[in-house]
Chains A and B, each alone.
Chain A
Amino acid sequence: MIWRLFSRLGQGFAVMLIMSVIVFILMGAMPGDPIDLMISSNPHLTAADAVRLKDLYGIGKPWPIRWWDWVGQLLQGQLGYSRLFAREVGSIIIPALGHTALLAAAAMVLAAGIGLPLGIAAGAKPGSLTDRFIVLASYLSLSLPTFWLGLMLVAVFSVWLDWLPASGSTALLSPFEGSLADRLRHLILPAATLAVGGIGQYVRHMRAAMIAESRAPYLRTARAKGCSPLRVTLNHHVRNAMLPVVTIAALEAGALMSGALVTETVFAWPGLGRLSYEAIMGNDYNLALSALLLATLLTVTASALADLAYGLLDPRTRG
């Protein structure tokens, strides 16, 4: 088990190193640097200004040199300085990570809490009316565009009913600012938007796993031993069918941490996805690299945790 953990960590490190090089090359290949963009918006900038600023910010240097500088900086425990927000990268990324973690956790709980029972119900009796209805609903949830769904929820719950806030993560300058209730009110709509697609995923995977396990001999044995159908389903059938779902849930968690860009944009939620996008578009190397590597780290960690959990849940995979 320990060896497996170290092996996964080594793989994760290699992935992150490769990712940092890829990001550097891709960002360098993007047209226009910050000074080019500044020139196009400010007629007062002269040619001398452009040359001076590029030199000052080290923009003219080739990417391997900049990458090496960045690695050196990282080894000293510094993530660097964000040009886009004029702050230490760490002071921007950590709060954003917190917001994304909260949103992702809420969405996962919601998606798993709804999707898994529905998947179990559908998979327990495949072909039944319940199964057909759940499958149809799961298709619907998978095909709803996040952007549209978010705006619809805002239109109904914020504009029309005036129950929930339309954007942000807290009510600024109000007596309730930062309270648990205030945070929950702001969390509901983005979490629900993000969860809807996840519900469909969980239903589909859980149902498929249930059907795949339904012909397993241990279920026949359990029934032959006189276990009640409910006990057979919950204690034997679901427990074994959960194994692939755990992997999917772990990977889903990693994706949610970095891929909630659309939801975060619609609800002006100050998370990691939106931050990464802004950093890439703004050519903020330090911030973009740190945000993307953090997302990679989270995905790699989630995947490693899934492996470990798999080993714990299924003794056959322990080797």
Chain B
Amino acid sequence: MHPVNALAKAIRACAMAATLWAVPQSILAKETLTIGISQFPSTFHPAIDTMLAKSYVLSFVRRPLTAYDSHWRLVCLLCEKLPTLENGLAKIETLPSGKQGVAITVALKQGTKWADGTPISSADILLGWEVGKHPQSGVAAAEFYRRVTAIDVVDNRTVTLHVNRLSFDYNSLGEFKLLPAHIEKARFEAAPDRYHDTTAYDRDTTSPGLWNGPYRIARVEPGQYVTLDRNPFWNGPPPAFDHMVIRVIENTASLEAAILSGGIDMVSGELGLSLEQALAFGKRHPDRFVVTATPSLVYEHIDVNLDNPRLADPRVRRALSLAIDRDSLCRYVFEGKQQPAVSFVPPLDQAYSADTPPLIFDPVEAGRLLDQAGYPLKDGVRTGPDGQTLGFVLMTTAGNRSRELVAEILQAQWRKVGIVVRVKLEPPRVFFGQTVTKRRFPDLAMFAWYSAPEGVPRSVLHSTEIPGPDNGWAGENYTGYKNPVMDALLDATEEEPDFIRRKPLWRQMQNLYNRDLPAIPLFFKSDAHIWPRELRGITPTGHADPSPLWVENWSWQK
């Protein structure tokens, strides 16, 4: 090469380098976003198994028909228009039994395609239904599919679902999972009873045709990571990142180290650090990371075993509640970032009734009630007519530091009114696998419920939902609560489609709950999200529809 040409090339290279150096970092897009989560999904099939890790990962690569947004409003994601009784897309119909059902017409958004270019069609809705209602397919929550008695195909992207029951959330179709018929139909029809093993979602997870979100799954290493690439056939706003990496780091200390060392960019709020860990992290690194605490639908409470004669007395339950100072508990343990619970409905939910009598802190009244119930104070301890000390065992999960701390504080607060409480910790697997689900806690069990916005608590409060050997230990009414009035209210609330008429039913339910206290409310949890300051557009939801359902709004700005 001629020396002059070489010099010219060198100058050009230097100029290019200088230009690149001068370009603001915001213009140089970040190509990959790496997210840390603490669990790996056990399956990638949208309807088989139910797991938070799965719904988090799938929310990048699949769009449900409907979802609740960050304002807890029901919105259409894959459907064209939310079907309602008002807009005529949902119509009440009378069933042969005389009961009311509903016909819901759903049209898929124009131009939506699977990531291999195949248009999403009515056939995919039909297959989702066929698989969902088949008893051998392995679909976990099949109740919704079984309620659909028939599907009329209107055209290639419109169907009418005939549901045999009119419920208030008739148009919440997030649980109805579409399946790509061009891939899954043959596998399902070949052997429905083996489908949970043969589905392409687990056998060929990276097949593009399985996915319809802004991204598609590109690589999977079981137990380690999932990488996502852009879906070339996504017809919504393009997402900001070319690739996403979701890495599994179970240990929270390692998760913190990974984000600090740059191994991951953010920690998922849905499956990451606990609130107090995240708050402490935010204080140590305020300049690099945003730490948010989003109020969620996770309701921390104490289930009371109503079969225990002492706890069957409502005065004792009320005294236990009155002796708890929820405000100072939330302030002390969670720096006021979690909201004290005044009933089982979170204040952000539209079903919440502000005029529900509050659960106040009144140790004097608690003492009076205990006196009345026959447990006078002797030497600082409440003693019953049989001479036995009024004492309970409070069971909860081991290894959850904040829960253990809350248990200690409750123990101290109850001790002040003379109730002796022993805290017993169990590994979560034992606690949830046996103690709670088989109703083996003698007195009190502290844990959380996770529900959807305006989720009717049928499974935890209805008398037909008490787990036992007769029903295969299904149902979540672990307290053994039986109240025909509550049963009727639950039934009526579920079946009332008009919110104006439903709201008073919710109020009555909350009043009754606070009167009967089958469980003692504590607080509503907040999800702790950590992301770098450069990342914008994340809207944590606080409920079961995770924030990546709106990943196309995320961006990277210096």
Chain A residues with a Cβ under 8 A of chain B: 30-33, 36-54, 56, 81, 83-87, 91-92, 95-96, 151, 154-155, 158-159, 162, 165-169, 172-173, 265-268, 270, 274-275, 278, 281-282
Of the listed stretches B122-130, B335-343, B355-363, B430-438, name the one at the interface; the rest are far from the partner chain.
B430-438
Bound-complex Cα distance A53 to B51 (A)? 16
Shortest distance between the CB of B47 and any CB in chain A (Å): 11
- Which of A43, A52, A172 meets B135, CB within 8 Å? A52
Q: Is the CB of B261 within 8 A of A158?
A: yes
- Which residues from 128 to 162 on chain B have a C-beta closer than 8 Å to any C-beta of chain A? 135-136, 138, 140-144
Bound-complex Cα distance A14 to B140 (A)? 39
- Taking A158-B257, A168-B247 as given, write out 17 further A-B residue pairs in contact, using a Cβ cutoff of 8 Å, ordered by the A residue number: A31-B430, A36-B433, A37-B432, A42-B140, A43-B460, A47-B475, A49-B474, A52-B135, A53-B138, A56-B196, A86-B197, A86-B201, A162-B262, A166-B257, A166-B263, A168-B224, A270-B223
Residue of B nearest to A92 (CB): B222
Shortest distance between the CB of B110 and any CB in chain A (Å): 31
Which residues of A lie under 8 Å from residue B247 when comparing CB positions?
167-168, 172, 268
Shortest distance between the CB of B469 and any CB in chain A (Å): 11
Which residues of A lie under 8 Å from residue B44 when comparing CB positions?
86
Bound-complex Cα distance A168 to B249 (A)? 9
Which residues of B lie under 8 Å from residue A40 when comparing CB positions?
432-433, 436-437, 476
Shortest distance between the CB of B188 and any CB in chain A (Å): 15
Which residues of A lie under 8 Å from residue B458 when comparing CB positions?
43
Cβ proximity bits B224-235 to A, threshold 8 Å, 1 near / 0 not: 110100000000
Shortest distance between the CB of A49 and any CB in chain B (Å): 6
Bound-complex Cα distance A173 to B263 (A)? 12
Shortest distance between the CB of A44 and any CB in chain B (Å): 4
Cβ proximity bits B448-460 to A, threshold 8 Å, 1 near / 0 not: 0111000100111
- Which residues from 406 to 435 on chain B have a C-beta closer than 8 Å to any C-beta of chain A? 429-430, 432-435
Is B42 an interface residue, CB under 8 A from the partner? yes
In the complex with contacts A41-B450, A85-B42, A166-B263, A36-B140 CB distance below 8 A = no
Bound-complex Cα distance A194 to B346 (A)? 47
In the complex with contacts A38-B49, A268-B247, A56-B257 CB distance below 8 A = no
Shortest distance between the CB of A187 and any CB in chain B (Å): 15
In the complex with contacts A47-B472, A84-B42, A270-B224, A31-B433 CB distance below 8 A = yes
Bound-complex Cα distance A259 to B49 (A)? 30
Which residues of A lie under 8 Å from residue B460 when comparing CB positions?
43
Shortest distance between the CB of A182 and any CB in chain B (Å): 13
Which residues of B lie under 8 Å from residue A268 when comparing CB positions?
224, 247-251, 254, 258
Bound-complex Cα distance A95 to B135 (A)? 35
Residue of A nearest to B242 (CB): A173
- Which residues from 246 to 273 on chain B have a C-beta closer than 8 Å to any C-beta of chain A? 247-251, 253-254, 257-258, 260-263
**How many A-B pairs with Cβ below 8 Å?**
173
In the complex with contacts A83-B42, A154-B254, A165-B263 CB distance below 8 A = yes
In the complex, which range does the number of interface residues on chain B fall in?
Answer: 35 or more
Residue of B nearest to A158 (CB): B261
Is B276 an interface residue, CB under 8 A from the partner? no
Shortest distance between the CB of A271 and any CB in chain B (Å): 10
Q: Is the CB of B32 within 8 A of A173?
A: yes
Bound-complex Cα distance A96 to B471 (A)? 40
Which residues of B lie under 8 Å from residue A266 when comparing CB positions?
251, 253-254
Residue of B nearest to A155 (CB): B257
Residue of B nearest to A86 (CB): B202
Is B68 an interface residue, CB under 8 A from the partner? no
Bound-complex Cα distance A208 to B223 (A)? 42
9 contacts between A and B (CB under 8 A): A30-B429, A32-B433, A41-B432, A45-B140, A47-B471, A54-B472, A96-B223, A155-B257, A172-B227
Shortest distance between the CB of A220 and any CB in chain B (Å): 55
Which residues of B lie under 8 Å from residue A87 when comparing CB positions?
202, 222
Shortest distance between the CB of A263 and any CB in chain B (Å): 11
Which residues of A lie under 8 Å from residue B433 when comparing CB positions?
30-33, 36-37, 40
Which residues of A lie under 8 Å from residue B251 when comparing CB positions?
265-266, 268
Q: Is the CB of B434 within 8 A of A32?
A: yes
Residue of B nearest to A266 (CB): B254
Is B84 an interface residue, CB under 8 A from the partner? no
Q: Is the CB of A39 within 8 A of B437?
A: yes
Residue of A nearest to B447 (CB): A40
Shortest distance between the CB of A40 and any CB in chain B (Å): 5
Shortest distance between the CB of B347 and any CB in chain A (Å): 21
Of A45, A91, A95, A274, which is in contact with the most chain B CB atoms at under 10 Å from its CB? A45
Of A43, A53, A95, which is in contact with the most chain B CB atoms at under 10 Å from its CB? A43
Shortest distance between the CB of A170 and any CB in chain B (Å): 9
Which residues of B lie under 8 Å from residue A154 when comparing CB positions?
254, 257, 261
Q: Is the CB of B40 within 8 A of A85?
A: yes
Shortest distance between the CB of B200 and any CB in chain A (Å): 11
Which residues of B lie under 8 Å from residue A92 when comparing CB positions?
222-223
Is B206 an interface residue, CB under 8 A from the partner? no
Shortest distance between the CB of A87 and any CB in chain B (Å): 6
Bound-complex Cα distance A281 to B135 (A)? 27
Q: Is the CB of B261 within 8 A of A49?
A: no
Is B245 an interface residue, CB under 8 A from the partner? yes
Q: Is the CB of B221 within 8 A of A270?
A: yes
Shortest distance between the CB of B92 and any CB in chain A (Å): 23
Is B508 an interface residue, CB under 8 A from the partner? no
- Which of A31, A42, A169, A270 meets B434, CB within 8 Å? A31
Is B539 an interface residue, CB under 8 A from the partner? no
Which residues of B lie under 8 Å from residue A39 when comparing CB positions?
437, 473-474, 476
Q: Is the CB of A172 within 8 A of B34?
A: yes
Shortest distance between the CB of B240 and any CB in chain A (Å): 16
Shortest distance between the CB of B227 and any CB in chain A (Å): 6
Is B555 an interface residue, CB under 8 A from the partner? no
Bound-complex Cα distance A50 to B435 (A)? 18
In the complex with contacts A87-B202, A151-B253, A173-B243, A44-B42 CB distance below 8 A = no
Shortest distance between the CB of B67 and any CB in chain A (Å): 16
Which residues of B lie under 8 Å from residue A37 when comparing CB positions?
429, 432-433
Bound-complex Cα distance A169 to B141 (A)? 36
Which residues of B lie under 8 Å from residue A162 when comparing CB positions?
261-262
Q: Is the CB of B472 within 8 A of A50?
A: yes
Which residues of A lie under 8 Å from residue B430 when comparing CB positions?
31-32
Cβ-closest 8 pairs across A and B: A32-B433, A47-B474, A31-B434, A86-B202, A44-B141, A158-B261, A47-B471, A85-B222
- Which of A33, A167, A172, A265 meets B258, CB within 8 Å? A167
Which residues of A lie under 8 Å from residue B175 when comparing CB positions?
44
Of A30, A48, A172, A282, which is in contact with the most chain B CB atoms at under 10 Å from its CB? A172
Residue of A nearest to B135 (CB): A52
Q: Is the CB of A159 within 8 A of B261?
A: yes
Is B389 an interface residue, CB under 8 A from the partner? no
Which residues of A lie under 8 Å from residue B52 when comparing CB positions?
41
Is B50 an interface residue, CB under 8 A from the partner? yes
Is B100 an interface residue, CB under 8 A from the partner? no
Q: Is the CB of B474 within 8 A of A46?
A: yes
Shortest distance between the CB of B508 and any CB in chain A (Å): 21
